[in-house]
A and B are shown apart, each in its own frame.
Chain A
Amino acid sequence: MVKITIDGIEIEVAAGTTILDAARQINPETAPPAMCFHSKLEGSGGKCRTCLVKVTKTSPSNPRPMPKLAPSCRTFVEDGMEVENNRSEEVLEARKGVVELLLINHPLDCPICDQAGECDLQNLAFEHGAETTDYQEERRRFPAKAIGDLIQLQMNRCILCFRCVYVADQLTDGRHHGVLGRGDSSEIGTYIEAAIDNDFSGNMIDVCPVGALTDRTFRFKSRVWFSKPMAAHRTCEKCCGNAVLWLKGNEILRVSGRRNDVGEVTEFICNTCRFDTKSLHLWEVEGPARISRDSVISQNHTPS
């Protein structure tokens, strides 16, 4: 176990823990925001730069601060490390800058976005962003694409977190999509417009922090806050079968994976559970689902 101090709060964590993880153990509400890191996806993180923190002291034997702000999701704790997160003006300023940069090419089409209400970028902008921007240039635009029958890609909304790429790499056999192009012309895409078709592709929707990848079977059906999330399970040959059903009356509008307190999917589900079993008699309903604080539904919703 090693001791680390974040914003003056000391905590003991296992060696090999990241600063982000340690901060989440102290309090998920005050931990640095993370748009690209997902603990279930190996190699993720380090890209969005929203989780930057200031390491003021690396360790007692190396008391110097780290020269640059460090990505907390990929920086490991050391015994005696001291970190400033919300207490450092520099960190808050940097974060504000990153949020602004993430938004300059975002279409801000929240009113018609299926992700609205459970969008990490909305929350990030609200909690860490500035009120205004000086950006006045034209925004980058890509045409919307259906990648297969089940998933809709709205590249304009993408923040290039790469989570969906890791899902495809680590969860499915054979990745059919990835990042094409370079710099700010980078886009998520399938080479030669192939459809994404495999049993676990739907998890790309769940890990997407924004509305770039959405469920085509749920598209424009309802605002998320008008449906009721219920934890349910079924016996499934392909996956754990543990899911969240989003109900309107007795109708299942969509099925998604379960999430933890920081909004990360805890168990990935297969496409059969997600898309093909939208009938209540196929599920054992457990009760109201645990909803992460990142969803608008977390208000007035009592989990089981």
Chain B
Amino acid sequence: MSRKILLENGDISGIDQFDIYRQHGGYQSVEKAIKTMTPLEVVDEVKKSGLRGRGGAGFSTGMKWSFLDRKSDKPRYLVCNADESEPGTFKDRYLMEKIPHRLIEGMIVSSYALGASRAYIYIRGELMWLAKRLENAIGEAKAHGLLGDNILGSDYSLDLVVHPGGGAYICGEESALLESLEGKRGYPRLKPPFPAISGLYGCPTVINNVESIAAVPWIVTHGGEEYSKIGIEKSSGTKLISASGHINRPGVYEIELGLPVEEFIYSDAYCGGIRNGRTLKAVVAGGSSVPILPAELILRTAAGIPRLMTYESLSDGGFQTGTMLGSGGFIVMDDTTCIVRNTWNFARFYHHESCGQCSPCREGTGWMEKVLHRIEHGHGTPKDIDLLVDIAKKIEGKTICALGDAAAWPIASAIRHFRHEFEYHIAHPDKITDPDHVYQPMGTK
């Protein structure tokens, strides 16, 4: 098992309670930061750590923090994005449920670093019991002087608010999240201006994923340099991976970045291999939005180098032969999986979740879903495959936010790597509509 930072002490019973969390070193970083460090020193540590945003984009957290407009006389805000809704991703939920105080501690230290006196945790509405759990943790921290007015006797005060969303995927997009937090419809904003300049209520705002913020306490306590030693090069630290699908041991794993993909899938310390002794067919490595890769390309790059669980290694080969680490939603599929059905399922999700603000995504996601539905139900035509590629191109890069890209990529990549399955569906409508028919991969007719 690799080293634990985010889930450190996660197995201790009662760790969700303040006293036990505190006994095991909890809230040390708040003491250290507020009593011995200036806010900018905290930012520096995070920069040194090389921590990258864990929500999916992998942008340097320290850089993001340094973009915050500190000259403006407006209040500054920190917003934690806990609207985890990417299919295949359930790590933030696990972290918040297990150790709610880790996020609260991270929020306090991060807010201190950013000079925010009010911070929000925007949590998806389906996780209402976690919202209550976090509020409970906030109450405990307040009672012990770690939150609220004059934290630990200093002149720094912080008000931390948990705000549940209404259950829309689009509200995980940072600017739609801000709109929703302001009480408006969750429509993404046009960028620029970026939130670091004009975010919540038009004020400078930093938005970070739960996991990014939860990594900050360790970085502050042990130093950014120490953190940067974990992992490989530009992929420093540990990452929570939500492993799901056809594996023996699905669950949330904290891994050191740099772990070989093959080890992650087959080692008993992690996924424990493919269930029922079947063979690996494909993996969606970073949540449903990232390109799907067939077994040979997820284990090794096109150049034959073993792939590692890092931002760089997974994206080696670009979109032609690579994918992305994304949010770490690792969906494993064995050889019984129908890629067409899976792609249709993803398309259905994006169609349902498109906010409808800009036309390419609003109209295109529905169209793609309808075509895939047709193919999956035995009504496809040979032209449909290229049509899907064409629609995906019409959406990708043309929309206000990344949802359009997220809808286009899985479809384009499924066709890129599994075109023969789409062709098989179109050529054999009788077989695929037969409920007893188990889809057989290429070569077995």
Per the bound structure, the CA–CA distance linking A74 and B357 in Å amounts to 15
With A97-B394, A97-B398 given, is the CB distance from A182 to B359 under 8 Å?
Answer: no
- Besides the known contacts A97-B393, A102-B359, A183-B356, 13 further A-B residue pairs in the complex with CB atoms under 8 A apart: A69-B398, A74-B190, A101-B359, A101-B360, A101-B364, A101-B367, A135-B367, A137-B367, A137-B374, A182-B168, A182-B356, A183-B351, A184-B354
Question: Per-position contact with B for A44-79: 1 when CB-CB < 8 Å, else 0?
Answer: 001111001000000000000000110100100000
| Contact yes or no, B355 A182, CB < 8 A | yes
| Contact yes or no, A184 B398, CB < 8 A | no
Chain B residue with Cβ nearest A52: B398
For B370, give its contact among A98, A137, A182, A186 (CB under 8 Å). A137
Per the bound structure, the CA–CA distance linking A94 and B366 in Å amounts to 18
Q: What is the minimal beta-carbon distance from B193 to any residue of chain A, in angstroms?
A: 11
Residue of A69, A140, A183 ringed by the most chain B CB atoms within 10 A: A183
Per the bound structure, the CA–CA distance linking A112 and B66 in Å amounts to 58
Q: What is the minimal beta-carbon distance from A160 to any residue of chain B, in angstroms?
A: 7
Q: Determine the chain B residues whose CB is within 8 A of the CB of A183 once the complex forms.
A: 351-356, 362, 365-366
Question: Per-position contact with A for B329-365: 1 when CB-CB < 8 Å, else 0?
Answer: 0000000000000000000000111111111101111
B residues 353-412 near A (Cβ < 8 Å) are 353-360, 362-367, 370-371, 374, 383, 387, 390, 393-394, 397-400
| Contact yes or no, A46 B394, CB < 8 A | no
Chain B residue with Cβ nearest A135: B367
Per the bound structure, the CA–CA distance linking A159 and B356 in Å amounts to 10
Chain B residue with Cβ nearest A186: B356
Q: Determine the chain B residues whose CB is within 8 A of the CB of A159 once the complex forms.
A: 359
Q: Determine the chain B residues whose CB is within 8 A of the CB of A94 once the complex forms.
A: 394, 398
Q: Determine the chain B residues whose CB is within 8 A of the CB of A71 once the complex forms.
A: 190
Chain A interface extent, by class: 20 to 34
With A69-B397, A184-B366 given, is the CB distance from A49 to B360 under 8 Å?
Answer: yes
| Contact yes or no, A186 B358, CB < 8 A | no
B residues 177-236 near A (Cβ < 8 Å) are 185, 190
| Contact yes or no, B358 A49, CB < 8 A | yes
Q: Determine the chain B residues whose CB is within 8 A of the CB of A105 once the complex forms.
A: 363, 366
| Contact yes or no, B356 A179, CB < 8 A | yes
Per the bound structure, the CA–CA distance linking A80 and B354 in Å amounts to 36
Per the bound structure, the CA–CA distance linking A183 and B357 in Å amounts to 7
Q: Determine the chain B residues whose CB is within 8 A of the CB of A74 once the complex forms.
A: 190
Asked if A111 is at the interface of the complex by the 8 Å CB criterion, the answer is no
Per the bound structure, the CA–CA distance linking A74 and B185 in Å amounts to 20
Per the bound structure, the CA–CA distance linking A10 and B371 in Å amounts to 45
Per the bound structure, the CA–CA distance linking A179 and B185 in Å amounts to 10
Q: Determine the chain A residues whose CB is within 8 A of the CB of B398 once the complex forms.
A: 49, 52, 68-69, 94, 97-98
Q: Determine the chain B residues whose CB is within 8 A of the CB of A52 once the complex forms.
A: 398
| Contact yes or no, A49 B359, CB < 8 A | yes
With A49-B399, A135-B367 given, is the CB distance from A186 to B360 under 8 Å?
Answer: no
Q: Determine the chain A residues whose CB is within 8 A of the CB of B367 once the complex forms.
A: 101, 104, 135, 137
Per the bound structure, the CA–CA distance linking A140 and B356 in Å amounts to 14
Helix, strand, loop or mixed for chain B's interface? Answer: helix
Chain A residue with Cβ nearest B168: A182
A residues 112-170 near B (Cβ < 8 Å) are 134-135, 137, 140, 159-160
| Contact yes or no, B387 A134, CB < 8 A | yes
Question: Per-position contact with A for B267-294: 1 when CB-CB < 8 Å, else 0?
Answer: 0000000000000000000000000000
| Contact yes or no, B363 A101, CB < 8 A | yes
Question: Per-position contact with B for A169-210: 1 when CB-CB < 8 Å, else 0?
Answer: 000000000010111111000000000000000000000000
Asked if A100 is at the interface of the complex by the 8 Å CB criterion, the answer is yes
User: Which residues of A are at the interface with B, using a C-beta cutoff of 8 A?
Assistant: 46-49, 52, 68-69, 71, 74, 94, 97-98, 100-102, 104-105, 134-135, 137, 140, 159-160, 179, 181-186
| Contact yes or no, A97 B360, CB < 8 A | yes
Return 19 A-B CB contacts under 8 Å, by A number.
A47-B400, A52-B398, A69-B398, A94-B398, A98-B360, A98-B398, A101-B360, A102-B359, A104-B363, A134-B387, A134-B390, A135-B367, A160-B362, A181-B356, A182-B356, A183-B354, A184-B363, A184-B365, A186-B356
Chain A residue with Cβ nearest B186: A182
Per the bound structure, the CA–CA distance linking A98 and B364 in Å amounts to 9
Per the bound structure, the CA–CA distance linking A179 and B187 in Å amounts to 11
Q: What is the minimal beta-carbon distance from B386 to any residue of chain A, in angstroms?
A: 9
Q: Determine the chain A residues whose CB is within 8 A of the CB of B354 once the complex forms.
A: 182-184
Q: Determine the chain A residues whose CB is within 8 A of the CB of B370 once the complex forms.
A: 137
Q: What is the minimal beta-carbon distance from A102 to any residue of chain B, in angstroms?
A: 5
Q: What is the minimal beta-carbon distance from B64 to any residue of chain A, in angstroms?
A: 18
Per the bound structure, the CA–CA distance linking A49 and B362 in Å amounts to 12
For A184, give its contact among B168, B190, B351, B390 (CB under 8 Å). B351
Q: Determine the chain A residues whose CB is within 8 A of the CB of B393 once the complex forms.
A: 97
Residue of B362, B363, B390 ringed by the most chain A CB atoms within 10 A: B363
Q: What is the minimal beta-carbon distance from B67 to any residue of chain A, in angstroms?
A: 16
Q: What is the minimal beta-carbon distance from A131 to any residue of chain B, in angstroms?
A: 15
For B394, give its contact among A101, A137, A184, A186 (CB under 8 Å). A101
Q: Determine the chain B residues whose CB is within 8 A of the CB of A185 once the complex forms.
A: 356
Per the bound structure, the CA–CA distance linking A258 and B149 in Å amounts to 58
With A98-B398, A104-B367 given, is the CB distance from A184 to B362 under 8 Å?
Answer: yes
Q: What is the minimal beta-carbon distance from A301 to any residue of chain B, in angstroms?
A: 32
Chain A residue with Cβ nearest B394: A97
Per the bound structure, the CA–CA distance linking A214 and B364 in Å amounts to 27
With A68-B397, A97-B394, A184-B354 given, is the CB distance from A47 to B359 under 8 Å?
Answer: yes
Q: Determine the chain B residues whose CB is within 8 A of the CB of A47 once the complex forms.
A: 357-359, 400
With A69-B397, A183-B353, A184-B354 given, is the CB distance from A160 to B190 under 8 Å?
Answer: no
Per the bound structure, the CA–CA distance linking A211 and B366 in Å amounts to 23
| Contact yes or no, B190 A46, CB < 8 A | yes
Q: Determine the chain A residues whose CB is within 8 A of the CB of B352 once the complex forms.
A: 183
